[in-house]
Structure 1
Amino acid sequence: MRRVRSATVPLHRHSIPQILVDGVLVALSYWLAFWLRFDNGISPPYEELLRDTLPWVVGGSLVVFVVSRMYGKWWRYAGQRDLLVVVRSVVLVTLALVAAVAVLHPVTRPTTEGDVSVGLPSSVIALFMLIAIALMCGVRLLARMLHERPRGFRARADARTVLIVGAGDGGRLVLREILRNRDLGLNPVGFVDDDPTKRRIRVEGVPVLGNTQEEFPRVLDEVEPDEVIIAIPSAPGTLRGRVVGACRRRGIPIRTLPTVFELLQGGGSTYVRQVRDVQVEDVLGREPVRFEIDRVGRYLDGEVVLVTGAGGSIGAELCRQIARVAPRKLILLDHAEDNLFRIQRELEDDRHVHPSTLAAVLADCKEEERMREVFGEHHPTIVFHAAAYKHVGLMELNPVEAVRNNALATRVMARVGGDLGVRTFVLVSTDKAVTPATVMGASKALAEWAVEEAGARYPGTSFATVRFGNVLGSSGSVVPIFRAQIAKGGPVTITDPAMTRYFMTIPEAVQLVIRSGSLAKGGEVFVLEMGDPVSIMQLARDMIELSGLRPEEDIAIEVVGRRPGEKVHEDLFNPYERPQATPAEKIQIAEREPLAPEVVHAMFAEIGLLVLEGDAAGLARKVTELSALRSGSHVDAAAVSVDPRA
């Protein structure tokens, strides 16, 4: 059942005093409008008009204000939207007042030509509207100013001096909370901000001392803060990296506000209490992707959405974001009990998610009969297939299972979805499927072809693939490995000092996957723009420094040599693919010539037989043939490696 916003007017126990104050202000505004209009005193007919109309002007105004939902919050938290509601409501009251006086004629006066009604002068109408807006907005702003005013702030003797990066909205909120909460033990000594219009000004008494570029090292040396807080939730990685580098060289601890994604998912705690340590995701140097999930995910509203691999890193984030756009039902499917239980409990505890919209299904995508049962019971209209094995080294040791789970299971899901009338089917793929050189990459390339074949076979379903690079924090990422190695005291091991990889955060990748689903028309391979590739060596050094240690001194970095089939650089497009733009930012289409469905069908029949027989060597040869078939060139069987221990 979908959640419906309550139609009741929000009131709380503090609404009555607010209503009484507004009633007094409306009455005062109406009286002042007449008093200012008539310099020599209000003439008797208009004095009678004022006296007779004042009660229902006040009463009618309060009714309009309540219906306009003006009393749902404390005035101390009034913002721009609340003031706009006040303006709109007063204008509505003014128009109603004019109409009522014109229709009802509350006051008449006798003349030689008969009784003549007394109307409201236009100047009284204009004055009433302006005075009411000024008084009612003013009282709300006054309440907010009194609430936010530092009440004789004096830092504790043991307070830590803090330099705030960013004098915008985030920085101001941090400053206000520090000034209001002496128990935080912080003493703000200044801001740094790159906006030239803020240079040398004071923000609520705290000076802006410079920018984050050439002036930042000087500011750190002069102020010598005990701590630096980055108060820009949308700050790019280049700025964060620059600030972190300067602070680390001086041994100054640095923390940051959560990113926009974390703030949206976080609770109601204050900004300062949400400040966390800087993580590697913050300093990658790439511009963050910003989408409004309510807007880009609107096509999921009221749908039955199935997410496979729901307990994995990508699948779980898909579930979190999809749950926030109010699908009619969200089906969480995973074959790992612990992971499924974890994401189910997390979503059930989320105040934005109604438990009745969730269905947790413990099942394996490889089992076609079981999948048909699930589809038949829940009737999903949109499927995000995120279930996959991701660990390259582990898949080299288990090539048969890699192909079974990543390729054959995808074909099963696509076939079942097409047979049972799913409207949209989205496969989550990887850049390792491009010119695959490992079993994991080859299995994901096969998965892409399975979806392509299904698109030709089932025109009623929009099949699409979304391909992207490494995702920070996912189970297949190098970042958790580096963190564990640093925690143990090192060494941090890399396979090649020249190696680079594309990186993106999990929330960014998932938002782009959801956006791609709205673009799917049938058969597309969407490729996410990952920014510039990141040096793995530099990533290792950054992670060591973010842990407060020194590379090569506190933590050693060892080069252990590349694993079989491991590439130095990854690509997002195959040589036979042509990048094409889409209407969405950061999303491209890999345009390519389609393979004949019967060819793919025949090849999958052979692969299925090899998997059934457990023939790892034969499987490697067959996968190589598929690569050559797509590219139109001969590829040596060694191009796809299989670990000899398999």
Structure 2
Amino acid sequence: MKIEYFKNRLAQIFWNGDNSLQLKNLRYLPRWMVIAIDVFLVVISFCISFLVVENIATSFYQVLSIFQQAVFFTLVYLASFFVFSTYSGLIRHSTFVDIFKIAFACVASTAVIVVVNYGYYLIYDQKIFLMPFLIINMTTTFVALLLFRVMVKRLYSFVSHGKQKIYDVLIVGVNDDSIALAEALTTSKTQSFNLAGFISFKNDHQRIKILGKPIVKYGSKFYDKIAPMKVNGLIIAGSQLSIAQKNELVDKALANDLKIFNVPDITQWTDKEDVSTKIKEIQIEDLLEREAIHLDDSQISNYLEDRVVLITGGAGSIGSEIVRQVSDYNPKCVLILDQAESPLYDLELELKEKFPDVAYKFILADVRRRERLESIFEANDISVVFHAAAYKHVPMIESNPREAVFVNILGTVNLANLAVSKGIDRFVMVSTDKAVNPTNVMGASKRAAEIYVQSLQQHSTGTTKFITTRFGNVLGSNGSVIPYFKKQIESGGPVTVTHQDIIRYFMTIPEACQLVLQAGTMGNGGEIFVFDMGKPVRIMDLAERMIKLSGFKPYDEIDIKIIGLRPGEKLYEELLSDDSKTLPTHHQKIMVAKDEPYGYENVTRYLKEIEIATQDFNDDLVVMKIKQMVPEFISKNSVFELLDKKVKL
């Protein structure tokens, strides 16, 4: 405890203290200081060597005085320091290369002195320096210079990591990525991780060592084997494990109080980055991902390359990722439309840096304003529209149903009608699983938009293909449950779950957008494409796992509270209604929902009634009209439940 206190106190005084000794602001020792210290060590080594040799009772040659010999030695070593640039590296980050430099400098200096010594002997038949003295001095000087660098490195680590936990880790796997990671850790600028060994899934690795570290076979007795090693962390390097293997490994590691870290494939590293900056604690998103999607890039290129593409809601989570992925297919121009000024500006800065060769137009506009949209369509030769603009937060929309009508329904109507009138080739609408048997206004408004797009496809004689894509929750999107849980955990809890049995489908943002692009190549128009969302996730399990990944114990250090279902929320989402059937497509993760389209005249009549209802500022009337258009819309846990009886009457 005293050592730990002393260490933390040193860190406070020298590193974090409010005084003149804030060493963290001193990025490195100046070169002149390194040279000065090295020269001082040369002088000290000379003195030590002299005392050692003098005690052997050997007489020194009298050609030069001891002072003159010391000056000569200092000048020779100083010259060798410049020749071998022993001062050029950062002392606190010294490596084997720096050790070799000072070794060469010491050997070269001694060699020069030996040459001078025997040259003088050949001319004057007398030596200047004793050979035992030269050997002892070379050894002493090398050790002094080496100890100086080791002490600086240790002191820097001691002070800079006064309050930072250092992990003794095992690296998962024995392959090029894991070995490269291990080598990088041994020369890392920061000492956050100590390599304890490797984990192998094969028997033939157990009798060998890599970098002097053991290889432990992963099996039923794995955690008993590593107990004596005092390991407190595992690092998963690259993508060598499947998602199922990674989940199994993480669950068992968490049960044994081990921290789990991730590091990307070696191909994603850069020489400028210290490997420690690439090692991150594993996130829940890493465990919910699924195997990589294989796209038909040729088909996607056929309808995106050299085309003008409009993406609405382009600054949002889904829209911005669609923008990034579309940018890889050489579009002629990408129009990014959003009403949120700051996110749109941030995206502009990002895209200009990442895709300098792609032409972009950043359009601040609102899909509710038809005149503004019409001017955009007229000014640009748009071929493809990705419609991702929508209000999506269920409780917020439940309290503001008129806004859902304006944006989710009428905004879609504006865009779809313009797509037909301007002869747009493809119109891809991003929908949601909440549109299936909706229990809230948000889902019902998206279902109404689906209905209109399908009916317009049947009614229109134009060439526009309307394609609807439907999927569930995406990981990391704005306002989604995972960022919300993270904030609650960071603040000490409790983590709030609406119901202990609630489940949700999850998909990563890149995966969802890849499938949106792929679905855009399919069908003749009017189809609703449903994505394979995998297995649903129990939100209670998700909360418990996230708490464990953060290093806490659920219900003990971080509590979980059940707060009840929110307005309009249901226990599970569906991707298909009871009356829908699915047909497979050529892509295994995309299916076609065979929803029977509504008649266009009836749909437009419903929409007209909904639009008129919004003018009365009567939420009940608005929701009533939506329920008439979407008869499967049955409110749950909402003030609008009473309307369901009126609709039936």
Same fold (TM over 0.5): yes
| Aligned position for 2:244 | 238
| Aligned position for 2:195 | 188
Q: Do the aligned partners of 2:177 and 2:265 also contact (CA within 8 Å) in 1?
A: no
| Aligned position for 1:329 | 333
Select 2:434's aligned residue among 432, 435, 455: 432
| Aligned position for 2:73 | none
1:335 and 1:377 map into 2 onto residues whose CA distance is 19
Query: 1:552 aligned to 2:559?
Result: no
| Aligned position for 1:174 | 181
Counterpart residue type for residue 337 of structure 2: L
1:165 and 1:491 map into 2 onto residues whose CA distance is 33
Greater shift in the superposed pair: 166-175 or 503-512: 166-175
1:465 and 1:268 map into 2 onto residues whose CA distance is 44
Q: How does 1:388-467 map to 2 (within 5 A)?
A: 388-458=390-460, 459-467=462-470
Query: 1:312 aligned to 2:297?
Result: no
Say if 1:479 and 1:181 are closer, same or farther in 2 by CA, change over 3 A: closer
1:316 and 1:220 map into 2 onto residues whose CA distance is 45
Counterpart residue type for residue 404 of structure 1: F
**Cα deviation, residue 497, structure 1:** 0.3
| Aligned position for 2:544 | 541
**Cα deviation, residue 196, structure 1:** 6.4
Say if 1:555 and 1:638 are closer, same or farther in 2 by CA, change over 3 A: closer
Select 2:287's aligned residue among 278, 283, 290: 283
**Cα deviation, residue 557, structure 1:** 1.0
| Aligned position for 1:44 | none
Counterpart residue type for residue 360 of structure 1: F
Q: Do the aligned partners of 1:466 and 1:513 also contact (CA within 8 Å) in 2?
A: yes
2:488 and 2:572 map into 1 onto residues whose CA distance is 23
1:397 and 1:191 map into 2 onto residues whose CA distance is 55
2:406 and 2:638 map into 1 onto residues whose CA distance is 16
Q: How does 1:439-518 map to 2 (within 5 A)?
A: 439-458=441-460, 459-518=462-521
| Aligned position for 2:353 | 349
2:528 counterpart SS class: strand
Q: Do the aligned partners of 2:503 and 2:571 also contact (CA within 8 Å) in 1?
A: yes
1:161 counterpart SS class: strand
Query: 1:595 aligned to 2:598?
Result: yes
| Aligned position for 2:5 | none
Counterpart residue type for residue 555 of structure 1: I
**Cα deviation, residue 165, structure 1:** 1.4
**What do the CA deviations read for 1:238-289 (whole angstroms, capped 9, x no partner)?**
33333333333443332102489xx8799984765322221111223x5333
**What do the CA deviations read for 1:392-432 (whole angstroms, capped 9, x no partner)?**
11111101111211111011111111111111111111110
**Cα deviation, residue 194, structure 1:** 3.6
**Cα deviation, residue 181, structure 1:** 4.5
**Cα deviation, residue 601, structure 1:** 1.6
Say if 1:637 and 1:190 are closer, same or farther in 2 by CA, change over 3 A: closer
Query: 1:252 aligned to 2:255?
Result: no
Q: Do the aligned partners of 2:314 and 2:344 also contact (CA within 8 Å) in 1?
A: yes
**Cα deviation, residue 639, structure 1:** 9.2
Query: 1:582 aligned to 2:585?
Result: yes
Q: How does 1:199-214 map to 2 (within 5 A)?
A: 207-211=214-218, 214=220
Q: Do the aligned partners of 2:309 and 2:385 also contact (CA within 8 Å) in 1?
A: yes
1:192 counterpart SS class: strand
Say if 1:216 and 1:422 are closer, same or farther in 2 by CA, change over 3 A: farther
Greater shift in the superposed pair: 185-194 or 321-330: 185-194
**Cα deviation, residue 344, structure 1:** 0.9
Q: Do the aligned partners of 1:436 and 1:640 also contact (CA within 8 Å) in 2?
A: no
**What do the CA deviations read for 1:20-41 (whole angstroms, capped 9, x no partner)?**
xxxxxxxxxxxxxxxxxxxxxx
Greater shift in the superposed pair: 516-525 or 222-231: 222-231
Say if 1:338 and 1:314 are closer, same or farther in 2 by CA, change over 3 A: same
Q: Do the aligned partners of 1:624 and 1:637 also contact (CA within 8 Å) in 2?
A: no
Counterpart residue type for residue 166 of structure 1: G
Q: Do the aligned partners of 2:202 and 2:217 also contact (CA within 8 Å) in 1?
A: no
Q: Do the aligned partners of 1:424 and 1:520 also contact (CA within 8 Å) in 2?
A: no
Counterpart residue type for residue 551 of structure 1: P
Counterpart residue type for residue 241 of structure 1: N
1:332 and 1:413 map into 2 onto residues whose CA distance is 14
| Aligned position for 1:47 | none
1:364 and 1:537 map into 2 onto residues whose CA distance is 38
2:196 counterpart SS class: strand
1:441 and 1:327 map into 2 onto residues whose CA distance is 32
2:572 counterpart SS class: coil
Q: Do the aligned partners of 2:438 and 2:635 also contact (CA within 8 Å) in 1?
A: no
2:574 counterpart SS class: coil
Say if 1:238 and 1:339 are closer, same or farther in 2 by CA, change over 3 A: same
Select 1:218's aligned residue among 220, 224, 234: 224
2:492 counterpart SS class: coil
**Cα deviation, residue 178, structure 1:** 3.0
**Cα deviation, residue 168, structure 1:** 3.6
Q: Do the aligned partners of 1:621 and 1:637 also contact (CA within 8 Å) in 2?
A: no
Say if 1:214 and 1:336 are closer, same or farther in 2 by CA, change over 3 A: same
**Cα deviation, residue 524, structure 1:** 1.2
When normalised by structure 1's length, the TM-score is 0.68
Counterpart residue type for residue 465 of structure 1: T
Q: Do the aligned partners of 2:502 and 2:539 also contact (CA within 8 Å) in 1?
A: yes
Identity percentage of aligned residues: 35
**Cα deviation, residue 626, structure 1:** 2.2
Q: Do the aligned partners of 1:200 and 1:210 also contact (CA within 8 Å) in 2?
A: no
1:349 counterpart SS class: helix
Select 1:528's aligned residue among 526, 531, 534: 531
Greater shift in the superposed pair: 177-186 or 508-517: 177-186
1:380 and 1:202 map into 2 onto residues whose CA distance is 61
1:274 and 1:163 map into 2 onto residues whose CA distance is 16
1:322 and 1:270 map into 2 onto residues whose CA distance is 32
Say if 1:406 and 1:457 are closer, same or farther in 2 by CA, change over 3 A: same
2:298 and 2:198 map into 1 onto residues whose CA distance is 34
Say if 1:538 and 1:602 are closer, same or farther in 2 by CA, change over 3 A: same
2:336 and 2:197 map into 1 onto residues whose CA distance is 48
**What do the CA deviations read for 1:576-623 (whole angstroms, capped 9, x no partner)?**
111211111311111122211222121111111112333311222222
**Cα deviation, residue 484, structure 1:** 1.9
Say if 1:636 and 1:516 are closer, same or farther in 2 by CA, change over 3 A: closer
1:559 and 1:178 map into 2 onto residues whose CA distance is 43
2:433 and 2:550 map into 1 onto residues whose CA distance is 29
1:361 and 1:266 map into 2 onto residues whose CA distance is 35
Query: 1:273 aligned to 2:280?
Result: no
1:298 counterpart SS class: helix
When normalised by structure 2's length, the TM-score is 0.68
2:626 and 2:352 map into 1 onto residues whose CA distance is 42
**Cα deviation, residue 221, structure 1:** 2.2
State the Cα RMSD in Å.
3.0
Q: 5+ unaligned residues in a row in structure 2: which ranges?
A: 1-149, 158-165, 643-649
Query: 1:302 aligned to 2:306?
Result: yes
Q: Do the aligned partners of 1:580 and 1:590 also contact (CA within 8 Å) in 2?
A: yes
Counterpart residue type for residue 474 of structure 1: S
2:311 and 2:516 map into 1 onto residues whose CA distance is 12
Counterpart residue type for residue 248 of structure 1: L
Q: Do the aligned partners of 1:366 and 1:405 also contact (CA within 8 Å) in 2?
A: yes
2:535 and 2:489 map into 1 onto residues whose CA distance is 25
Q: 5+ unaligned residues in a row in structure 1: which ranges?
A: 1-153
| Length, aligned pairs only | 480
Q: How does 1:47-66 map to 2 (within 5 A)?
A: none
